[in-house]
Structure 1
Amino acid sequence: MTKSRVTVVDIARAAGVSKSTVSLVLQASPLVNEQTRARVNAAIRDLGYVYNRGAANLRQTASSKIVGIVVNDLTNSFFAELAVGMDMVMQSAGFVQFLANTGESLDRQREVIASMREHGISGLIISPARGTDASDFKPLIAAGVPVVIVVRNIAGAKVSSLLSDNYAGARAATEHLIALGHRRIAFLGGFADTAVSADRIDGYRDALAAGGLAADAALVVNSAPSRAGGVAAIERAMLIADRPTAALCFNDAVAFGVCDGLRARSLEPGRDFGVVGFDDVIEAQTAVPALTTVSVDPQGMGRRAAQMLLKQINSGRVEAEAQVASVRLVVRQSCGTVAGPWGGGASHDTIANDTMGTDRRQHDRP
Structure 2
Amino acid sequence: MGKERVTVIDIAHAAGVSKSTVSLVLQASPLVNEVTRAKVNAVIRELGYVYNRGAANLRQSNSKSKIIGIVVNDLTNSFFAELAVGVDMVVQSAGYVQFLANTAESVDRQREVIASMREHGISGLILSPARGTEAADLKSLVASGIPVVNVVRQVAGAKVSSLVSDNHAGVSAAVRHLAGLGHHRIAFLGGFPDTAVFSERLQGYRDALSDMDLAVHDELVVSSAPSRAGGVAAIERALLLRERPTAAVCFNDAVAFGVCDGLRAHRLDPGEDFAVIGFDDVIEAQTAVPALTTVSVDPQGMGRRAAQLLLKQINAGRAEAEAIVSSVRLVVRQSCGSASDKRERLSLL
Match of 2:42 in 1: 42
Contact 1:252 1:280 in 2 (8 A): yes
- Tell me, in whole angstroms, the C-alpha distance in 2 between the residues paired with 1:32 and 1:67: 24
State the 4+ residue runs in structure 1 displaced beyond 6 angstroms: none
| 1:147-166, Cα deviation, whole Å (9 max, x unpaired) | 00000011110100000000
Q: How does 1:152-301 map to 2 (within 5 A)?
A: 152-301=153-302
- Tell me, in whole angstroms, the C-alpha distance in 1 between the residues paired with 2:66 and 2:54: 21
Contact 2:107 2:132 in 1 (8 A): yes
**What's the TM-score once normalised by structure 2's chain length?**
0.96
- Tell me, in whole angstroms, the C-alpha distance in 1 between the residues paired with 2:193 and 2:164: 18
Contact 1:252 1:277 in 2 (8 A): yes
Structure 1 residue 342, shift from structure 2 partner: 5.2
**What's the TM-score once normalised by structure 1's chain length?**
0.92
- Tell me, in whole angstroms, the C-alpha distance in 1 between the residues paired with 2:203 and 2:214: 14
Q: How does 1:7-156 map to 2 (within 5 A)?
A: 7-62=7-62, 63-156=64-157
1:23 is matched by which residue type in structure 2? S
Question: What is the RMSD of the two structures over their aligned residues, measured on CA atoms?
Answer: 1.1
| 1:290-313, Cα deviation, whole Å (9 max, x unpaired) | 000000100000000000110011
Stretches of structure 1 that go unaligned for 5 or more consecutive residues are: 344-366
| 1:222-281, Cα deviation, whole Å (9 max, x unpaired) | 000000000000000001111100000000000000000001111000010000000000
Deviates more, 1:254-263 or 1:34-43: 34-43
- Tell me, in whole angstroms, the C-alpha distance in 2 between the residues paired with 1:91 and 1:61: 24
Q: How many residues align?
A: 343
Structure 1 residue 214, shift from structure 2 partner: 1.1
- Tell me, in whole angstroms, the C-alpha distance in 1 between the residues paired with 2:185 and 2:340: 18
Structure 1 residue 61, shift from structure 2 partner: 3.4
Secondary structure at the aligned position of 1:266 is classed as coil
1:207 is matched by which residue type in structure 2? A
Match of 1:5 in 2: 5
Contact 1:271 1:340 in 2 (8 A): no
Contact 2:183 2:339 in 1 (8 A): no
Identity of aligned residues (%): 78
Which is richer in helix? 2
- Tell me, in whole angstroms, the C-alpha distance in 1 between the residues paired with 2:231 and 2:306: 28
Deviates more, 1:137-146 or 1:331-340: 331-340
Q: Does 1:329 align with 2:318?
A: no
- Tell me, in whole angstroms, the C-alpha distance in 2 between the residues paired with 1:109 and 1:37: 18
